[in-house]
Amino acid sequence: KKIVIMASGNGSNFENIVKKLGNQVDIELFSENKNAYVIKRAEKLKVKTHIIDFKSYYRDEYDEKLYNLLKKQTPELIVLAGYMKLLSPKIVDKFKIINIHPSLLPAFPGVNSIKKAYNYGVKITGVTVHWVDNGIDTGKIIEQKSLKIDKGISLEKLEEKIHEIEHEIYPCVLKKLLGL
Ligand code: GRF
């Protein structure tokens, strides 16, 4: 079984999934950002990496190249882990794709969600894993875990706690979906 993890930045979820599931499933990385730290992590972990530099192409060209690449890889599942570009409808229609989002959707979709929840002053936030459709963080919810925001907690500490939850639930959801 093969999955392709798509990531644009830091890659802590990518590394966590590779460490937890790498011996049970074939994992490849895709990034559209050649300077992303996740690529360094993949090198260290010896994970095969595909890069299409987003900035070097017109949007249509990029979408087509990405579609063809993914089609060639034929992953059972595409796993978004901090992938910061919208996927084209053609890709969304063709593949099974999941995403992890650092809030309790439908609250705080889009970017900077941890900070948005923190600044809003909600008392409970959390993490959502969902199917990807053509909207932004709108697909059917697969799993959620909530977290109480303690009084006086710093934004940095909240971010740390959210990432801990992400690292706990994303591999669990993957295991279930892949039947591992
Ligand atoms: C995570 O917070 C995830 O929920 C969001 O992007 C972030 C990626 O973090 N979609 P990392 O690159 O895995 O460290």
The string of DSSP codes covering 13-32 is HHHHHHHHHTTTSEEEEEES
The CA-CA-CA angle for residues 48, 53, 56, to 5°, reads: 155
Residue 68, marked binder: no
pLDDT tens figures, 47-57: 999 999 999 99
- Residues of the chain within CATH 3.40.50.170 domain(s) are 1-95, 101-180
What separation in Å is there between the alpha carbon of 82 and the centre of ligand 1? 4
d(CA 18, CA 41): 10
What separation in Å is there between the alpha carbon of 99 and the centre of ligand 1? 10
129 confidence band (pLDDT: 50, 70, 90): very high
Counting ligand 1 atoms within 8 A of each CB, the residue from 6, 156, 163 with the most, and so the one to mutate, is 163
32 confidence band (pLDDT: 50, 70, 90): very high
Return all residues near 95 (Cβ < 8 A) that are at least 6 apart. Answer: 70, 75, 77, 78
> What pLDDT, on a 0 to 100 scale, did the predictor assign at position 140?
98
CATH superfamily, domain 1-95, is Formyl transferase, N-terminal domain (3.40.50.170)
> What pLDDT, on a 0 to 100 scale, did the predictor assign at position 18?
98
Instruction: Tell me the pLDDT of the chain averaged across its residues.
Output: 98
In this prediction, residues 17-37 reach a mean pLDDT of 98
pLDDT tens figures, 130-164: 999 999 999 999 999 999 999 999 999 999 999 99
d(CA 8, CA 81): 8
> What pLDDT, on a 0 to 100 scale, did the predictor assign at position 170?
98
> What pLDDT, on a 0 to 100 scale, did the predictor assign at position 168?
98
Are the beta carbons of 129 and 169 closer than 8 angstroms?
A: yes
pTM of the model: 0.97
Counting ligand 1 atoms within 8 A of each CB, the residue from 145, 166, 168 with the most, and so the one to mutate, is 166
Return all residues near 47 (Cβ < 8 A) that are at least 6 apart. Answer: 18, 22, 27, 28, 29
The CA-CA-CA angle for residues 153, 115, 35, to 5°, reads: 120
d(CA 131, CA 118): 25
Are the beta carbons of 30 and 4 closer than 8 angstroms?
A: yes
% of the chain residues with pLDDT over 70:
100
For strands 26-31 and 97-101, give the pairing: unpaired
Which residues' Cβ are closer than 6 Å to ligand 1? Answer: 7, 9-14, 81-82, 100-102, 166
Task: Give the CATH class of 101-180.
Answer: alpha beta
